[in-house]
Structure 1
Amino acid sequence: MVSLHAQRDLDQSTAAGAAALSTFTAAGAVGTLLGGWVGDRYGRMTSVRVGYLVALPALSGIAWAPGFPVLVLSAAVFGVAMFLPFAAQVTLAQDYLPNRPGTASGLSLGLAMAAGGLCSPAFGRLADTSGLPAVFYALLAVFVVPVVLAIRLPERTWKVPDAPAPALVEAAHPHEAR
């Protein structure tokens, strides 16, 4: 939709629309790397909350961009912000389902991708019937829900038991220690 928005609403070329979309994608790669760093330094929920809180105004910038430079900048910020929580969401899901890490990964990645794929035709239909701005307004309205949930979601930390001392391991298995 960003590419079409650049072309239809901001009178840009196909190449400019592709550049705006590529900017979003490249920024997403940066956001993934940055999200891991933020999660390691400040906690996973920080990367989730910051990502979603920054994404909301960036999406607004895309929706109401008065010109192409604002659209590209907003797409870049949105790309970083949307992918900032990516790694943290997977590991949080695994902590929320500690005995089912595969299920947790599948839910956090697979369900998100599937939901996006299933909703895409509806957003395309909305764009065809009501125009691209209607799609961005709908996305903004829908996006408020994960922002509120991210703010309220508690940090989940799993306490890992301390490793046994080497002397205890040797005493428990004397035939293997030699």
Structure 2
Amino acid sequence: MPNHQPAVRRGLIILLSLGHACVDVYQGAVAALVPFFVAERAYTYAAAAGLVLAASLLSSVVQPLFGALTDRRPMPWLLPVSTVVGGAGVALSGVAGSYPLTLAAIALSGLGVAAFHPESARVARAASGGSHTAMGWYSLGGNIGFATAPLMVAAVVATGGLHASPLLVVPALAGGALCLAAVRATARPGYAASRSAGPRAADDWTSFVRLSGAIVCRSIVFVGLSAFIALHVRQQAGGGELAGTAALSVLYLGGAVGTVLGGALATRWDRITVVRWSYAATVLAVAGVVFVPGPLVYAFVALASAGLYVPFSLHVTLGQDYLPRRAGTAAGVTLGLTVSIGGVAAPLIGAAADASSLQTALAPLIALPALGLLLLRSLREPALPGLGGVAAEHGSARP
């Protein structure tokens, strides 16, 4: 293999990771905007949660469709276009004159996010050469975007109000330029030569469905916490808006650490074992978030973040390896449908909080990682990696 090919792969992973950050900042921005919509527009918990639903519901349907399309024909041009669309929707949400227009703007952002992930995951997996660590770095970009979203929103909206939201388009413009560079990199000979053309294993739909069910459980927990943890911690630990923003940042920053840790752990143990450990730890962590008072709640937020994010990139590669003939579809489901379904639960949590208390509404989230763990019990490492014979980091996958 020519020496320039690994450099092309690394460069492409870096570009995709940075572009991923610029896209996922808008997923994090929706949750970060919730307290400001509540404060400035007097939205109820249920109405605010509806914004989270608008961002995720469209993605839940559309993202697998984009995945199926990219399985039939690569569409790298989607990367810069979808990045700009995702940012434009959030930028317009604060200046929309009515609740329906705000929902429409948030939904537009969700469409952009939906179009980005399947194609970017397909390109990243091809560039990774089967490395769990490389996919961890790709996923890390998205987590950094999530983590910086509350800080970005606070810097813009806390000072200028919701009418300053058009300034939030800046990361999308930067991300569009990065993704355009990534698209050009895919046309270079070093990238084309690095892609495997070996035979692919048969699709294992039973294992994929079980994995997807576990991801749904994880998704509901994560979306529920990301939508309401800022408000919950302000009640639980005291303090004003900064206390809530700090909790949301801990949730997202812990995810950045957890994602890289997940890739590293998967090189030492098999992915299924690492994912199971993570779900078990999340049960305890979420219980602490819901019930532990005072500043100690931040420690449980960090633990919950790690438990939710250690398996994040492993979900994607496991899904692609269970469906090696449909890598785009697998990414669309694991990054899109199953993750976005969590947004459907957000209005239910908000309605329960309106009817009782936010703590009572968040308590059922404790049981969901346990349910996910049950779904994972019968899963085994895929017999062959999903890159058509490209070995994972330690060679062939464990049985």
TM-score (norm 2): 0.39
Alpha-carbon shift at residue 161 of structure 1 (Å): 5.9
Return the letter of the residue paired with 1:75: V
Contact 1:52 1:150 in 2 (8 A): no
Counterpart in 2 of 1:152? 378
CA distance in 2, matches of 1:120, 1:84: 23
Counterpart in 1 of 2:241? 14
2:260 is the counterpart of 1:50:
no
CA distance in 1, matches of 2:290, 2:345: 18
CA distance 1:134–1:16, change in 2 (3 Å): same
Return the letter of the residue paired with 1:134: T
Counterpart in 2 of 1:114? 340
Higher relative contact order (CA 8 A, sep 6+): 2
Contact 1:51 1:85 in 2 (8 A): yes
State the Cα deviation string for residues 10-57 of structure 1 (Å, max 9, x = none). 322221121111111100011111111111221111221121111110
Aligned Cα root-mean-square deviation (Å): 1.8
Counterpart in 1 of 2:221? none
Return the letter of the residue paired with 2:331: S
Counterpart in 1 of 2:300? 74
Q: Give the match's secondary structure for 2:324.
A: coil
Contact 1:55 1:78 in 2 (8 A): yes
Contact 1:2 1:17 in 2 (8 A): yes
Return the letter of the residue paired with 1:138: P
CA distance 1:135–1:152, change in 2 (3 Å): farther
2:259 is the counterpart of 1:32:
yes
CA distance in 1, matches of 2:354, 2:348: 10
Counterpart in 2 of 1:84? 310
Counterpart in 2 of 1:171? none
Counterpart in 2 of 1:168? none
Gaps of 5+ in 1: 163-178
2:355 is the counterpart of 1:129:
yes
CA distance in 2, matches of 1:75, 1:151: 26
Return the letter of the residue paired with 1:122: L
Return the letter of the residue paired with 2:253: A
Structure of larger gyration radius? 1
CA distance in 1, matches of 2:304, 2:241: 21
State the Cα deviation string for residues 85-129 of structure 1 (Å, max 9, x = none). 011111111111111111111111101232012221111111111
2:138 is the counterpart of 1:138:
no
Return the letter of the residue paired with 2:360: A
State the Cα deviation string for residues 130-150 of structure 1 (Å, max 9, x = none). 211222211113332112222
CA distance 1:103–1:161, change in 2 (3 Å): closer
2:340 is the counterpart of 1:104:
no
**Larger CA deviation: 147-156 vs 16-25:** 147-156
CA distance in 2, matches of 1:126, 1:157: 44
